[in-house]
Each structure stands twice: as C-alpha cells, then as structure tokens.
Structure 1
Amino acid sequence: MPGSGKGEPDHMNPRHPYRILTDYYYNWRGLNNGLSFFHTHPQYEIYYFHSGNCDYMLGERIIRLQPGDLIIMNGMTPHGPKVYEPSEYVRTMFSFDPYLVQIFDENMRSCDPLKPFNVLRNYHFRLSPDAKAECEDILKRINRFYCQNDIVQYNRFLMAFYDLLMFILVQGRSVIEERQRTGSEREQYVGRLINFIDLHFMEDLKLDDLVKEVHISKFHLMKLFREATGKTITDYLYERRINQAKILFLYEKEPSVTHVCYEVGFKHLAHFSRLFKKQVGHTPETYKKLAHSAGGQLQHRK
C-alpha cells in the first residue's frame, strides 16, 4: 500500500487525482535506495521520527534525534539523516508545495496555517508525551485517508492534514510570538550578521569586518547578538566552523583532519582540535573514526 510503510513510498508509485503531496512516507522503515540523504527541494517538509539511531543534518546543525521529534523545514536548507542502524530507522515524512493551503476555505486560512514555516523556517520540536501521542494519531489518520482513491476520503485527508498544521502552529506558538515580539532592530542586525557568517565562515573573518557589514557600533552589535543568541559573535563563528567540520567528517571519508581544519576556516590545527573536543566531546580524529565505523554511535554535546 503506497505510503503505508508496508509497500513502496508514494513517489515510486503512479500518482492519482487525490494524492497531492509531493513526497510521502508513513511509518517507513529502512533507507531508500538511490536517494541522496543531504538534499534540498523547493517544497515545505514535515518530518516525524518514530525510532532508530539517527542524527539529522539541518543546515549547519546536527540534531541527535529521539522518538517523538518533529522537524519542519522550508526545504531549501540542506537537510537529511545520518543513519547508524538502517533496519531500525523509522520515520514519517511528507513534502508539499505551499500553495496547497489555498485548497482550504478562506476562514480556515485566517490563522495562517503556514506561519510556523514562514516565521521559524526550520525548527526542531521535541514533543511532550501527550503531544507525541496526539501527533501520531493525526499522522495515522492522514495515512488512513490519503491512501484511498475516493473523494470523500480525500476531504477527510484534507481535514487531517489541516489538523496537523494547526497542531504545529500550537506547538510553535510561543516561539513564534517571541520572535515576532523581538524581531525589530535586534532581529534585523543579528539576522544580517548570521547570514553573512553562514556565507563567509570559511574566510579569515575578524570582528571589525563583521561590524562593518551591518553598519552599527561594535559594542551595540555584540550586545544585540548576545541577547538574541546567548553567545558571543566569536563563539558563534567557531561553532559554525565546527558544525561544518562535523558534516564533512560524516559525509566524506577521504579528507584528513588537517584538510578539514583549514577547509572550515581555522588557521591552527591545535586550536581547531581543542575547540572541536570542547564542543563535540571527541577529538576530530576520534569523531572521524566513529562516524565511519559500522553502527558507530556519536553522542553530541548541545
């Protein structure tokens, strides 16, 4: 049955008029042959983790998944799983074009079902036990109705899908409100600086260069950045470089530790190794070995 977790995923089967999701897997176990794990796409995506041993790459972030984790994505940020035990990897995932919400009645769109995707863009929810049970119930209903070639069941699917969007909106409401409340001057400058760092972190960046990029005083920028992120600008730059190094170690077997050190923007191997161990909990050499060992289990510090 397509999308049921027992047959082929939806994208491997002929589509019919009532299948409107771009890609769909329900309670799907194992890996899909021929698919690139670290990828992008123009659609929005909802990902729910049921069980397994998996890290999830979301841009520069690496998330150690737990059962009941829910991730929403705008799609264009590179993302994908790093799975250590494929036979135990179980998830539900579907992607959809944002215009899909136009199907809903105008009154149903009044609360903006896509607000979490537009405001949070990419966000990881660690659901409470009650929220986990509610989410799994909604996903079960979506799958039950989505797999039926019938206009009545199609409408029931739409209601279940809308319910999931409302569930996500409720889960993210406090974070959304906080971002909108503090999103004036602080978000403007900090957002510009983070975007600049994400594009140029591999270069020889100095604090004065970053200050010039956003055109405010050094003291004011440092204050706004710490208020928004809880980190110094330098700490964020180093963490961005270390996260990129982790991704290179996970997805590439050939590069040496020294090569990765310089590739991500560090000038001194000893400095890179010290910060890597402090942030990750392993030396770069140990992390690289664990990343490519059979069934290797990496524990990441937050």
Structure 2
Amino acid sequence: MEEWLRPNYRMKSIGEQDFAFHSHAQFEVYFFHQGDCKYLIHHSIYDLQPGDIIIMNGLTAHRANPSKFALYERSVVHFSPDWIYPVIEELRMPELLSPFKEMNNCLLRGQDEGERERILQSMKTMDHLMNEDSAFMMKPEVEAELKILLLTILMQIYKLSKKENQHLAMPKSEKVLHVEKIAHFIQTHFKKSISLEDISSELNLSKFYLSRIFKEVTGTTVMNYVMTCRLNQVKFDLEMYPDRTLVEIATESGFESQAHFSRFFKQRVGMTPSVYRRQKLKS
C-alpha cells in the first residue's frame, strides 16, 4: 500500500536534520505549515509562507532547505497516479491529474481557506487510516475510503489551480535569481564535464560568490547538486531502458569513471546499480 499512497500529516523537525535532493515515481502534494524554509525544485526556488501548497510530479529532483533555528512543520502525501487513475477514469475526470502533469511543479498561494482546510482534513484522516493495524488496512472498504480522500484532495487542488492569482510569479531577491540561474545551467549541462570555472565563466559570477550563495540558499554545494542531477538521471534510465548497459547509462549521464560511478551510486542509494535495476524492474 505504501508504494501507492504515503501520507504524513504535520511532520515536525528542528535542528541538524539534512533534507537531501531526491526524486520518486509518485506524485506529491506538499503543504507548508510553519518555519523558515526555501524549497528547490528543478531550477526554481520558493521562499515558503504558511499555507503554501506545492504540487510535484516527483521525478524532478527537489529538496527542502529549512532553517536549523526554527520549527519546520509540513504535511505531505505521495501517491501513485496509476493507483487512483481507474477511479478518475470511471468518473470521467482525467483533468484532476492535469495540475501535476501540466503546471511544472507549481506553488499554489492564496487566501482560499476552505479548500486548504479540506485538503488538510483529508490528509489527517488518510494518515490515521494508514497508521491503523495492517490487517485492517488491507480491507477493501479502507482502500476505498483512502481513494475517496485522495479524490477530495485532487478536487480541491484542481479548483485552486484554476483560480486567478494562485500561481503568479513571486518576487525574488537578486541572490535567489542568481541561484536559479546556476541551477538552470547545471540542469542543462550536467551530462557533460562541468566545473565551478565553467559556471563562473558562463554566468559572470566569481567562484567564491556562486559557491557561497548556492550553499546558503539550497543547503547543498554546487558540485553536490551536479552529482545529484547525474544520479537522478541514472536512476531514471536504469528503470526506463533495461537493454542499455550500466557503462552506457553512467557515461551518458556525466560520470567519467565507472569505478567512481559505482561507489557513488552505492553510497547514495544503498545498493549497487544492477541490484537497483533488478528491484525496479520486478516491481
């Protein structure tokens, strides 16, 4: 069940917890409650406000960068579109998934307390049901209730996405705009050999300045972001192209050394690339 649906209601943390870049096959609904947090998705950076909702397709690398000095509280639901689609198809409402497919990992911000409260209440009930005894959770009526709750969330998000002023461009500081340009350059060049010097020259920023502001805004280093982009590309290709060799996939994703690729992959993912591929193809 957790591969199809994973709700987490009002998670709280503070201090030294590290939120690494990650990606996943599930769609994601992220609700920000409180804290001081910047959120990086692809090459967009959002300075979050309480009540903000981010909708993501999941495959794009993303991470939160909350302040270590403020309580960070959020609610999140991951769900498989394949799990809910038969119900959506039966209802003849395929547009309920359109915000996740067409809005390019969008932030929704506004004063629509009614819709937001219905989303939160559905998340809360969903989280409670998923934490019940596993034997109880396997009952068909429980799965049906979970699907109804998810449909409620999707309906509210669809309504929010259609309202004016919900996803207008937010004013951003010069520093954040610089970091977005750095991230965009990396996203479009990570498959090639890339260095701080290359980025510095392309964007006309000093290596010291771009390194400092990127770490300050995103919580990670420039070169770690480069490696994360490469890793996410490899993980996607391992699953989508089973006939291609590990060497081909690693090389085309920007890894110049096969030995370094294997060590890095196992260190970050916890298993070898070949084991990862076998597990994904089985599922």
TM over 0.5: yes
Q: How does 1:91-130 map to 2 (within 5 A)?
A: 91-104=74-87, 106-130=89-113
Q: What is the SS of the residue equivalent to 1:266?
A: helix
- Determine the structure 2 residue equivalent to 1:48: 31
Q: Which has the higher contact order (CA 8 A, sep 6+)?
A: 2
Which of 198, 202, 210 is the aligned partner of 1:266? 202
Tell me the distance in 1 between the aligned counterparts of 2:15 and 2:146: 25
Q: TM-score, normalised by structure 2?
A: 0.56
What amino acid is the match of 2:151?
A: Y
- RMSD (CA atoms): 4.0
Tell me the distance in 2 between the aligned counterparts of 1:113 and 1:137: 19
Residue 28 of structure 1, CA deviation: 0.8
Query: Is the CA contact 1:261–1:267 (under 8 Å) kept in the aligned structure 2?
Result: no
Residue 240 of structure 1, CA deviation: 7.2
Which of 142, 149, 156 is the aligned partner of 2:145? 156
Q: Does 1:146 align with 2:136?
A: no
Tell me the distance in 1 between the aligned counterparts of 2:211 and 2:15: 30
Change (3 A) 1:105 1:288: closer
Residue 289 of structure 1, CA deviation: 8.4
CA distances 1:133-181 after superposition (whole Å, capped 9, x unpaired): 3322222222233333243333222111110011111111257xxxxxx
Tell me the distance in 2 between the aligned counterparts of 1:288 and 1:106: 43
Q: What is the SS of the residue equivalent to 1:169?
A: helix
Structure 1 gap segments, 5+ residues each: 1-17, 176-228, 230-238, 249-258, 274-282, 294-302
Tell me the distance in 1 between the aligned counterparts of 2:94 and 2:112: 26
- Determine the structure 2 residue equivalent to 1:170: 159
Residue 92 of structure 1, CA deviation: 1.3
Residue 76 of structure 1, CA deviation: 1.7
Residue 25 of structure 1, CA deviation: 2.0
Tell me the distance in 1 between the aligned counterparts of 2:213 and 2:4: 38
Across the two proteins, how many residue pairs are aligned to each other?
Answer: 195
Tell me the distance in 1 between the aligned counterparts of 2:211 and 2:177: 19
Change (3 A) 1:267 1:93: closer
Q: Does 1:69 align with 2:55?
A: no
Query: Is the CA contact 1:101–1:109 (under 8 Å) kept in the aligned structure 2?
Result: no
Which of 108, 132, 135 is the aligned partner of 2:119? 135
- Determine the structure 1 residue equivalent to 2:266: none
CA distances 1:197-243 after superposition (whole Å, capped 9, x unpaired): xxxxxxxxxxxxxxxxxxxxxxxxxxxxxxxx9xxxxxxxxx97641
CA distances 1:246-274 after superposition (whole Å, capped 9, x unpaired): 799xxxxxxxxxx747425536447x99x
Change (3 A) 1:84 1:242: closer
CA distances 1:176-205 after superposition (whole Å, capped 9, x unpaired): xxxxxxxxxxxxxxxxxxxxxxxxxxxxxx
Overall identity of the aligned pairs, in %: 22
Tell me the distance in 2 between the aligned counterparts of 1:139 and 1:72: 14
Structure 2 gap segments, 5+ residues each: 170-175, 186-194, 220-283
Tell me the distance in 2 between the aligned counterparts of 1:40 and 1:158: 23
Q: What is the SS of the residue equivalent to 2:58?
A: coil
Query: Is the CA contact 2:65–2:218 (under 8 Å) kept in the aligned structure 1?
Result: no
Tell me the distance in 2 between the aligned counterparts of 1:168 and 1:87: 28
Query: Is the CA contact 2:14–2:71 (under 8 Å) kept in the aligned structure 1?
Result: no
